[in-house]
């Protein structure tokens, strides 16, 4: 087998993830190919270096900081879900409102173009009286 | 000692000391993941705090379909990515970050008097070189070598944590290590 077939397997070999038959072939190749052996050593070194990095730790008071925040009721399961529920509902409401306003702005200019200025008051009346316009606009948008 | 499942069950029932035990068990793991990703103590502290507060807030929604640790690490990965987005939004801090990349060794890797660091065999100089190289990796590659090579998590669990296929785990890991190799020039 050629080297280019072996190179992508180096990483798998390092993690012992090659099937037995491929592993045997790979090891045979490593013995005979200096290039691939060099590649293998380098990648192995990368893993070893990462494994040997100092482990970083939290401060000694970490638990008490978290528990204090929890005990102050800043974070509780129910409050959190209620909070997210509220955010969700407000967002939906905002999006709906925006859609209605956008639709209204989108449709009204054609009215203004066709009709004379005097009819604006009548148009407003019409819109205010006939709330089904809102429904038509929004249902047109939604579906 | 109680298992994670038992502790989670107790915590769900409102036993705060059970939740505290989970924190004690996993805080350093989460912190170390965050630090490998950010090379920054205060950010890692923020991320780790957020992770446990989110875990607590969402405990009821944890359905135990996966191990608790997998779920916890999944939240940790998201928190690391979120932290990065926040930093990117703030151009000033990004500039400072780039400008101060060389200071990482001094400020964060070598000399934090408060840090409780487990000393290992490689030199401080090598440590800082590797941490700097990690920061140069694209975030998904940085995360995958963090989980595999620093935390020694299995391919299968990494796939679940990062929500990617097993094939992708293999490919990303190979690319990440290769890229790191060329940056470090081992
Ligand atoms: Zn070869």
Instruction: Kindly report the CATH number assigned to the domain that includes residue B161.
Output: 1.10.1740.10
**What is the model's pLDDT at position B97?**
43
Determine contact: A19 vs chain B, CB below 8 A.
Answer: no
Lowest-pLDDT range of A32-41, A46-55, A83-92: A83-92
Q: Based on the structure, what is the number of domains in chain A?
A: 2
Lowest-pLDDT range of A111-125, B4-18, B87-101: A111-125
Per the model's pLDDT, the better-predicted residue between A93 and A3 turns out to be A3
**What is the model's pLDDT at position A125?**
41
Domain of A33? 3-51
Q: How far apart are CA A133 and CA A32, in angstroms?
A: 81
Maximum CA pair distance of chain A? Answer: 94
In a domain, A27, yes or no: yes
Q: Are residues A76 and A37 in the same domain?
A: no
> Would the pLDDT of B113 be above 80?
no
**What is the model's pLDDT at position A77?**
57
- Note whether A62 contacts B115, CB cutoff 8 Å: no
In a domain, A56, yes or no: no
Which residues, in sequence order, are CB contacts of A124 under 8 Å at separation 6+?
A: none
In a domain, B106, yes or no: yes
> Would the pLDDT of A136 be above 80?
no
- Note whether A58 contacts B58, CB cutoff 8 Å: no
Q: Are residues A42 and A96 in the same domain?
A: no
- Note whether B48 contacts A47, CB cutoff 8 Å: no
Tens digits of per-residue pLDDT, B94-112?
434 434 444 443 334 333 4
In a domain, A122, yes or no: yes
In a domain, B115, yes or no: no
Tens digits of per-residue pLDDT, B5-19?
999 999 999 999 999
Tens digits of per-residue pLDDT, B25-83?
999 999 999 999 999 999 999 999 999 999 999 999 998 889 999 999 999 999 999 98
In a domain, B30, yes or no: yes
> Would the pLDDT of A39 be above 70?
yes
In a domain, B63, yes or no: yes
Q: Which residues pair with B118 in a beta bridge?
A: A55
Residues from chain B that touch A49, judged by Cβ atoms under 8 A, are: 122, 126, 130, 184, 186
Give me the residues of B, 53-82, that contact A with CB < 8 A.
53, 56-60
> Would the pLDDT of A119 be above 70?
no
H helices present in chain B, as ranges:
4-12, 16-38, 41-57, 68-89, 91-99, 104, 124-136, 139-145, 155-162, 166-184
In a domain, A11, yes or no: yes
> How many beta-carbon pairs under 8 angstroms link A with B?
125
For residue B102 the two structure tokens come to 């060389």
Tens digits of per-residue pLDDT, A42-66?
999 999 999 999 999 999 899 999 9
Which of A42, A53, A67 has its CB closest to that of B127?
A53
Closest listed residue to residue B166, CA positions, set A17, A16, A6, A51? A17
Mean pLDDT for chain B overall: 85
> Would the pLDDT of A79 be above 50?
no
> Would the pLDDT of A108 be above 80?
no
Q: Based on the structure, what is the number of domains in chain B?
A: 1
> Would the pLDDT of A143 be above 70?
no
Q: Which residues pair with B160 in a beta bridge?
A: none
Q: Are residues A84 and A132 in the same domain?
A: yes
**What is the model's pLDDT at position B138?**
97
Q: Are residues A37 and A75 in the same domain?
A: no
Which of B19, B32, B130 has its CB closest to that of A56?
B32
Give me the residues of B, 24-43, that contact A with CB < 8 A.
24, 27-28, 31-32, 35-36, 41
In a domain, A32, yes or no: yes
Distance, in angstroms, between A71 CA and closest chain B CA?
A: 9
> DSSP readout, A49-114?
HHHTSPBP---TTHHHHHHHHHHTTSS-HHHHHHHHHHHHHHHHHHHHHHHHHHHHHHHHHHHHHH
The predicted model gives A27-39 an average pLDDT of 94
pLDDT-derived band at B186, boundaries 50, 70, 90: low
Q: Which residues pair with A55 in a beta bridge?
A: B118
Q: Kindly compute the dihedral angle of the four CA atoms of residues A10, A11, A14, A16, in this order, to the nearest 10 degrees.
A: -100
**What is the model's pLDDT at position B104?**
43
Q: What percent of chain A has pLDDT over 90?
A: 43
**What is the model's pLDDT at position B185?**
81
Question: Reduced to 3 states, what is the DSSP secondary structure of residue B109?
Answer: helix
Give me the residues of A, 70-129, that contact B with CB < 8 A.
70-71, 75-77, 80-81
Angle at A42 between CA A39 and CA A44, to 5 degrees: 105
- Note whether B150 contacts A51, CB cutoff 8 Å: yes
Q: Are residues A39 and A79 in the same domain?
A: no
> Would the pLDDT of A139 be above 60?
no
**What is the model's pLDDT at position A48?**
94
In a domain, A25, yes or no: yes
Q: Are residues A40 and A84 in the same domain?
A: no
Burial class (CB in 10 A: 0-12, 13-18, 19+), A37: middle
For residue A57 the two structure tokens come to 């730790």
In a domain, A58, yes or no: no
The predicted model gives A69-81 an average pLDDT of 65
Tell me the ipTM for this assembly: 0.82
In a domain, B81, yes or no: yes
Q: Are residues A74 and A45 in the same domain?
A: no
Q: Are residues A105 and A76 in the same domain?
A: yes
Mean pLDDT for chain A overall: 73
Per the model's pLDDT, the better-predicted residue between B74 and A74 turns out to be B74
Domain of B55? 4-110+121-184
- Note whether B173 contacts A11, CB cutoff 8 Å: yes
- Note whether B117 contacts A46, CB cutoff 8 Å: no
Q: Are residues A36 and A89 in the same domain?
A: no
């Amino acid at each position: 087998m050629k080297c280019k077939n072996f190179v992508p397997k180096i990483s798998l070999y390092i993690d012992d993830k090659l099937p037995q038959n491929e592993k045997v072939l790979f090891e045979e190749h490593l013995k005979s190919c200096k290039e691939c052996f060099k590649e293998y050593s380098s990648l192995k070194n990368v893993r070893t270096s990462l494994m040997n990095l100092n482990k970083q730790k939290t401060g000694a008071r970490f638990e008490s900081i978290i528990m204090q925040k929890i005990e102050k009721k800043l974070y509780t399961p129910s409050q959190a879900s209620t909070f997210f529920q509220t955010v969700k509902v407000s967002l939906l409401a905002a999006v709906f409102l925006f859609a209605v306003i956008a639709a209204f702005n989108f449709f009204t200019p054609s009215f203004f173009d066709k009709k004379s200025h005097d009819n604006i008051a009548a148009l407003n009346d019409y819109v205010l009286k006939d709330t089904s316009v809102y429904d038509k606009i929004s249902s047109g948008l939604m579906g | 000692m109680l298992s994670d499942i038992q502790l989670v069950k107790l915590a769900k029932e409102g036993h705060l000391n059970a939740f505290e035990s989970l924190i004690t068990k996993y805080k350093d793991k989460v912190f170390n993941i965050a630090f490998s990703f950010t090379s920054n103590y205060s950010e890692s502290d923020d991320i780790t705090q957020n992770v446990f507060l989110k875990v607590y807030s969402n405990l009821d929604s944890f359905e135990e379909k996966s191990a608790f640790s997998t779920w916890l690490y999944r939240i940790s990965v998201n928190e690391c990515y979120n932290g990065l987005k926040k930093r990117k939004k703030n151009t000033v801090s990004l500039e400072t970050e780039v400008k101060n990349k060389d200071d990482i060794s001094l400020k964060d890797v070598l000399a934090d008097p408060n840090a409780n660091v487990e000393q290992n065999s490689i030199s401080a100089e090598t440590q800082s070189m590797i941490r700097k190289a990690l920061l140069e990796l694209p975030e998904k590659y940085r995360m995958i070598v963090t989980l595999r090579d620093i935390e020694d998590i299995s391919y299968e669990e990494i796939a679940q944590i990062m929500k990617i296929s097993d094939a992708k785990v293999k490919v990303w890991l190979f690319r990440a290590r290769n890229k790191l190799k060329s940056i470090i020039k081992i």
